[in-house]
Chain A
Amino acid sequence: MDVVRLVKKAKRGSKEALMKLIMAEKDHMYRLAFTYMGNQHDAMDVLEEMIVRLYENIDQLKKEEAFYSWSKTILVNICKKTLRKQKKLVLIDEWHSSIENERIHLNTNSDDQMEIAEMLSILNENQKEAIKLKYFLDLDYQTIAEMTNVPLGTVKSRIYEALRKLKDHYGGEGNERDRGSIE
C-alpha cells in the first residue's frame, strides 16, 4: 500500500483514502485504544473521534510518511482526554439517586486482566502508560516518546523505574506475603 499517495489523496479531501489508511492498521489502532480505555465500547468511541479529528486536521501533517505515528499520537491524546473527562464528569441524575441507587455489579474484566491491573496498580500513571505501550503493544522507545510527547530519556527512565518497582514489589520467586512474614 502506498501510504504517501493515500495521504495526499486524503489531504485533497478523500474520505475513502483515509478509511483505507486506517483499515490497513485497524487491529493496531484498536489495540492501542483498548489498552487505554479498557473496554470495547469506549475504545470504539475514541476511535470514532479520532477519525473525525484526522480528517479535519490532515492538512497540518507535513510529512506524509509520518501518517501513522501522527494519527496514533492523536488517538492517545483523545484517550487521555476522555479518561480525564470520565473521572470528572458527574451526571446530576446521579447526585440525586446515589444513596438509594441499587448498585449493579458490572464485571468488565476477566480474571487475567484483573490480575495484571492489580500488578500495575503500584505504578504511577506515567509509568503504567509507558509499560503498557512498551510491553503490551511492543512499541519502541522513540515511538513512545513521540506518542506521549515526552523526551526519549524520560520514557527510558519511566520504564526502568517501573520495572524496578515491580521487581522490588513482586520479587523473584517468593510472593509478597512470604517476604512480609520474614521481615
Chain B
Amino acid sequence: MNEIEGRLNEEKKRLDAITAPEEFEARLRGALDAKPSRKPKHRSRYLMVAAVGLLCFMLIGYNYNAFAYYGKKLFGFDEVISETLQDLNEKGMGQIVDKKTTLIDGTELTIDGIMTDANQLIMYYTLSNPQGLKDTFSDIFNPDKVTGFLTNAHGGGGTAIINDSGKEVKGTLYFDPVSPFSRKLTLHFRQGVDNREGSVTFPYDPNKAMQTQIHQSIKETIKVDKGTLTFKTIKATPTSTVIEGKMDVVDYDRLHFGLEGVELIANGRSIQKLGYGVKSSFNGSKFDLRFDGLPAQLDSLELTVKEFIGYKELEEQIPLTSDEEIHFDLEGNDLWIKVVAATEKGIEVTFKTDGNVLLDGVSIKSGSRSTPLKTTIGHKLEKQGDGRIISERTMIFETKTMPDHLLVEGIYYVKQYNEQIEIPVH
C-alpha cells in the first residue's frame, strides 16, 4: 500500500470509530411521527370516482371561500419557505400581486404575491437580470418597510436563493402585519451602492387575509433566578404563532442566550421556533416569541421554559498554584484554568468554560491583597465533536504580583427550569 492509500485508510479507521449519536433514534422517530400516517394505496377505480364526486361537492358546497384566495400556487419558492408556508402556498392561500418594476441597475423586481394575517405579511419576490446578478445582491435591492393606510410595517428579515445561472433570485420577506383598512400597499427599499430610495405600490385586498385561529390571554408568570418572565398573550395564525410577554430580569443579557430555551409544544410535539425579539423599556422589557403555525387539529398546547439564564452565588476560591491545566466544577459547569502568566499588561489568566457560562465578580488574590478584573480578551469558541461549545478567553488583572488564588463571586449559566404552562384550547 502506498502512502496516499495509507493516509486514506487512516481516515477510514477514524471514521469507523464514529457511531450514530445517542439521539439518533429519538430524532428520526420524532421526524417520522410528525408525518401523518400513510395508508397504502389500494384505490379502485370505483373509489376514485367517489372521491372526485365528494371533492366537487366540497368545493361548491362547503369550502367556497377558498376561491377568495389566489387559488394558484406560486412556483420556485420551495427552497426559501418553511413547510407550513409551502403547505399554505399549495392551497393557494395568498394573493397574487405580479407587479414589476425596474431597479436602477436594470434588474427587474417582481412582487409575485403576498400572504397576510394578523401576525405578519410575507412577500414573495423575484429579482432577475439577464446580465447576471451580483453575489451581494444587497447592493441591488435592500428592502426596508411596507406602508399603507394605517400601516407602517417594518421588515423582519427573509431568505433568498440565487439560481445556478446567477441571473435570478427568488426570495421571501417578512414584515409586521398590515392594517385591514389598507387597500394599497407600498414596498419601500433602497437600491444601488449609494442606497438610493425606491418604492413600488400594489393593490391589497384585506378580505383575503387569513383568519386568526387563536387569540387569547395566557397571564402566567414564571420565577427565574434574577426576576420573572410573564407570558401575556398568544396569537396563532396559519403562518405563525406569536407569544407576547414581559420580562423583568436583571442582567438577562449577560449571556447570549435570551429566550432560546422557551418551547411551544402542540399535541406533544415541539413547534419550530422562528425567532424572538426583546424591547426594553424603563419598567422591564417586552418580548415576543415567534413559532411556526400550529397544527390544524389542536388537542393540547403547552409553553415550556426549559432553559433560561440562571445565577448562582459561589464565593469560590480557586488555588492557582499548579503549572498544568486545572479543572474545577462550578455547580455542574466546567472551568479549566490553562495558563497564568505575568506579561507587560499585568497578570493574564487564560481559561475555558462551557460556551454559555460567565463568571461574575472575578478578582485575584495574592496573600491578603486582591486585584479586580480589568478586562477580558481573545475570546475563542470551539465546537467539540459532541456539539458542545467551549469558550476560551484571557482575563487581565492590573498587577505585577503572581496570584495564589482566583476569586469568583458567582456565575451566570444556562439553567434548567423546566417550568410548564398549559394553554387551554377550545
Residue ranges of A at the interface with B (Cβ–Cβ < 8 Å): 11-13, 15, 18-19, 22-23, 26-27, 29-31, 34-35, 39-41, 44, 47-49, 51-52, 55-56, 59, 85, 88-93, 95-96, 104-108, 110, 112-113, 116, 119, 131, 135-138, 163, 166-167, 170, 172-173
Contact = CB atoms under 8 A, between A and B. Distances in A.
B37 A27 contact: no
B4 to A, nearest CB: 5
A119 B7 contact: yes
A89 B161 contact: yes
Contact of B27 (A34, A44, A107, A173): A44
Contacts, number: 139
A24 B222 CA distance: 43
B136 A13 contact: no
Interface stretch (B11-19, B96-104, B282-290, B328-336): B11-19
A170 B18 contact: no
Contacts of A12: 40
Contacts of A167: 2, 4
A105 B381 contact: yes
Interface of B: 2-5, 7-12, 14-16, 18-21, 23-25, 27-35, 37-41, 79-80, 136-138, 142-143, 155, 157-162, 171, 173, 379-383, 385-387
A119 B6 CA distance: 13
Contacts of A105: 380-382
A116 B21 contact: no
Nearest to A138: B12
Contact of A48 (B12, B28, B382): B28
Contact of B32 (A15, A59, A112, A116): A15
A90 B160 contact: yes
A52 B142 CA distance: 36
Nearest to A173: B3
B31 A59 contact: no
A95 B142 contact: yes
A178 B23 CA distance: 47
A92 B159 contact: yes
A128 to B, nearest CB: 12
Nearest to A59: B41
A23 B19 CA distance: 12
Contacts of A11: 40
A56 B38 contact: yes
A59 B43 CA distance: 13
Nearest to A91: B159
Contacts of B29: 19
Contacts of A41: 387
Given A106-B381, A106-B383, A135-B9, A13 B15 contact: no
Nearest to A81: B79
Contacts of A88: 161-162
B159 A55 contact: no
Contacts of B158: 91-92
B35 A56 contact: yes
Contacts of B34: 52
B273 to A, nearest CB: 15
A104 B142 CA distance: 26
Contacts of B15: 31, 34-35, 136-137
Contacts of A30: 18-21, 24
A19 B4 contact: no
B387 A93 contact: no
